Amino acid sequence: MQGPLIDTLARQGVSRRTFLKYCATLASMMALPPAAGLAMAEAMAAARRPSVIWLPFQECTGCTESITRSHSPTLEGMIFDMISLDYQETLMAAAGHQAEEALHAAMKANHGKYLLIVDGSIPLGQDGAYSCIGGRSNLEILKEAAQGAAAIIAVGTCAAYGGIPKARPNPTGAVSVSDIVKDKPIVNIPGCPPVPVVMTGVLAHYLTFGSLPDLDDKGRPRAFFGETIHDRCYRRPFYDQGKFAKTFDDKGARRGWCLFELGCKGPVTHNACATAKWNGGTSWPVESGHGCLGCSEPDFWDAGDFYKALSMPAHPPTSVVAAPVAGATAGAAAGFANRAKKNAARKARQPITVADLEK
Amino acid sequence: MTLDVIPIHVVPRHAGAALPGEPGLSGNAPPLLRELAEQVRHLLETGEPSAIDLSALPLTPADLDWLREKLGSGEIAVTLQANGESTLDETACAGVWWVTHRNEQGAVASQFIEVAFVPELVKAHPADVAIGRERLEFMVSENH
């Protein structure tokens, strides 16, 4: 293990063992085989600092809170130091014209090479007047910044898919980054907010391999979003045994049984909460007794009641040795059925009120 | 409101009483013993280490306790202080190590069962040994 990153870390008093331990944990969270930890450590030790520009649009700063506060101060924080964060409104000391100058200086100096991180959706209504920085609309700023970017990382469900601002009736005409930018590689890191280590993990992947990670059909890195919450849930065995909590205070809930019937969206939600957990690895929604809301999926706010169980498959798979072609057809049929159900759910959707939550 | 109003009661588990089929046990832990036996065979035949990533498997906390108890404790327990405490404990089966990485807040960050003669993390890196040698040589020169 030799190179610029490990040397910088060594100067900060971070030992090789600390780094190796970090990489082992990171590999585990990225669902890589245990042996990959060592390979990652070797490659990442030699990484160089890329310039990063972070633009906040129509957002709540929850994503920034997540990446900075919940895991600090840990090695993730130091890895974050290992990039050159040239513009981040919440974290930077500069303000006003100074800040805008810093942005333009960074964009000019690293044209074609910087990583652009975006959090928040982009409002198109009223010519973008709903969200402006320095008198310019988010749309205008995004288009300008995207031009010189090597790649764009859309952080949070708002930037990735429009998120809560885009939820019906979408008063500001909010759209996602990929709705506007079509000619640059875009990595979506959804979540409301995203798991901190997933954000730093994608940066780590960029540092490690010098490229962007493999993406799924929704533009998410497969390493973190390849499996559903349900597949990696420690309560999954109870689902398989048919043991469900029926209310939030029954025997099943006390015994930690599956929360499927209480509306858990784990089976249709791709995210890393079950393995990466939250608040420095303390716990995560299902572990604290509440089902998954599905916040890392497009349109999660409009996808039906948070407390209604997902529909059961009409014809549960009976045999796992079915021919692959038949399997694919059945899968597609189930897909159509689910889409129909989702549309029905969307139509029947009632806004959740405080009274509903207290029922 | 007093505490007994809350209908949750802590039931202490007796040592050795945890068997598959009891509350909290999923039955997913026992097959891991078979996988470990295979990995130990592989280690003996080829010398190649391997590992099982416990956080990647659907295991309940009770499953982990059951597995830990089953594997027992061996002669060596290594504690590593690096960005939080890590423990690398040999189990009663030599060559099988229970590795727990904790973060600075003490929460478990990742957990593995490693099958190796010595876990990679325990070995000193040549670059660190070289720094150690420099320090020793400095101490020697200082005393002259």
B83: which residues sit within 8 A by CB, 6+ positions away? Answer: A14, A18, A21, A22, A74, A75, B103, B104
Rg, chain B, Cα only: 21
Q: Where are the domains of chain B?
A: 20-142
- Considering only CB atoms, which residues of chain A are within 8 Å of chain B? 1-2, 14-18, 20-22, 24-25, 28-29, 31, 33-35, 38, 73-75, 232-238, 241, 249, 254-256, 275, 277, 280-282
Q: Which two tokens stand for residue A23?
A: 């990489």
Strand duo A84-88 + A136-137: pairing: unpaired
User: CA B58 to CA A177: how far, in whole Å?
Assistant: 35
Strand duo A186-189 + A149-155: pairing: parallel
Same domain membership, residue A250 and residue A233:
yes
- Cross-chain Cβ contact A282/B56 below 8 Å: no
Q: Is the domain covering B20-142 a CATH 3.40.1360.10 domain?
A: no
- Cross-chain Cβ contact A14/B127 below 8 Å: no
- Cross-chain Cβ contact B56/A31 below 8 Å: yes
* Chain A interface includes B136 (CB < 8 A): no
Residue of A nearest to B11 (CA): A255
Mutant choice from B32, B103, B104, B128 vs A, greatest count of A C-beta within 10 A: B103
B-chain residues within 8 Å CB-CB of A236?
58
A-chain residues within 8 Å CB-CB of B104?
73-74, 280
* Chain A interface includes B97 (CB < 8 A): no
Contact A325, A332 (CB under 8 A): no
- Cross-chain Cβ contact A16/B107 below 8 Å: no
pLDDT value of residue B25: 80
The string of pLDDT tens digits covering residues B29-62 is 899 999 999 999 999 999 999 999 887 787 888 8
Beta bridge partners of A194: none
For the domain that residue A197 is a member of, what is the CATH number?
Answer: 3.40.50.700
Residue B15 pLDDT grade (very low, low, confident, very high; cuts 50, 70, 90): very low
B-chain residues within 8 Å CB-CB of A237?
26-28, 58, 60
Contacts 24+ apart (CB under 8 A), A280-285: A280/A70, A280/A71, A280/A74, A280/B103, A280/B104, A280/B105, A280/B107, A281/B103, A281/B105, A281/B107, A281/B108, A281/B109, A282/B105, A282/B107
Query: Which residue type is seen at A174?
Result: A
- Cross-chain Cβ contact A16/B127 below 8 Å: yes
Same domain membership, residue A231 and residue A218:
no
Question: How many folded domains does chain A comprise?
Answer: 4
Q: Report the residue from A2, A20, A34 with minimal CB separation from B127.
A: A2
Mutant choice from A195, A234, A286 vs B, greatest count of B C-beta within 10 A: A234
Mutant choice from B79, B100, B125, B134 vs A, greatest count of A C-beta within 10 A: B125
Q: For residue A31, what are the domain limits?
A: 1-38
Q: What is the largest CA-CA distance in chain A?
A: 65
* Chain A interface includes B50 (CB < 8 A): yes
Residue of B nearest to A230 (CA): B58
Q: What is the pLDDT along chain A (359 residues), one digit of tens a residue?
A: 677 777 777 777 777 888 888 888 877 776 677 777 777 777 777 776 788 899 999 999 999 888 875 554 455 565 666 677 888 888 888 888 888 898 999 999 999 989 999 999 999 999 999 999 988 999 999 999 999 999 999 999 999 999 999 999 999 999 999 999 999 999 999 999 998 878 878 887 787 777 888 899 999 999 889 889 999 898 998 998 899 999 999 999 998 899 999 999 999 999 999 888 888 677 899 999 999 999 999 999 998 889 999 875 444 444 444 444 444 444 445 555 555 655 665 555 555 555 655 55
3-state secondary structure chain A: CCCHHHHHHHHCCCCHHHHHHHHHHHHHHCCCCCCHHHHHHHHHHCCCCCEEEEEECECCCHHHHHHHCCCCCCHHHHHHHCCEEEEECCCCCCCHHHHHHHHHHHHHHCCCCEEEEEECEEECHHHHCCCEECCEEHHHHHHHHHHCEEEEEEEHHHHHHCHHHHCCCCCCCEECHHHCCCCCCEEEECCCCCCHHHHHHHHHHHHHHCCCCCECCCCCEHHHHCCECCCCCCCHHHHHCCCECCCCCCHHHHCCCECHHHCCCHHHCECCHHHHCECCCCECCCCCCCCCCCCCCCCHHHCCCCCCCCCCCCCCCCCCCCCHHHHHHHHHHHHHHHHHHHHHHHHCCCCCCHHHHHC
Query: Between chain A and chain B, how many beta carbons pairs sit less than 8 Å apart?
Result: 91
The string of pLDDT tens digits covering residues B71-105 is 999 999 999 988 789 999 999 999 999 999 988 77
Same domain membership, residue A316 and residue A197:
no
- Tell me what ipTM this predicted complex has: 0.71
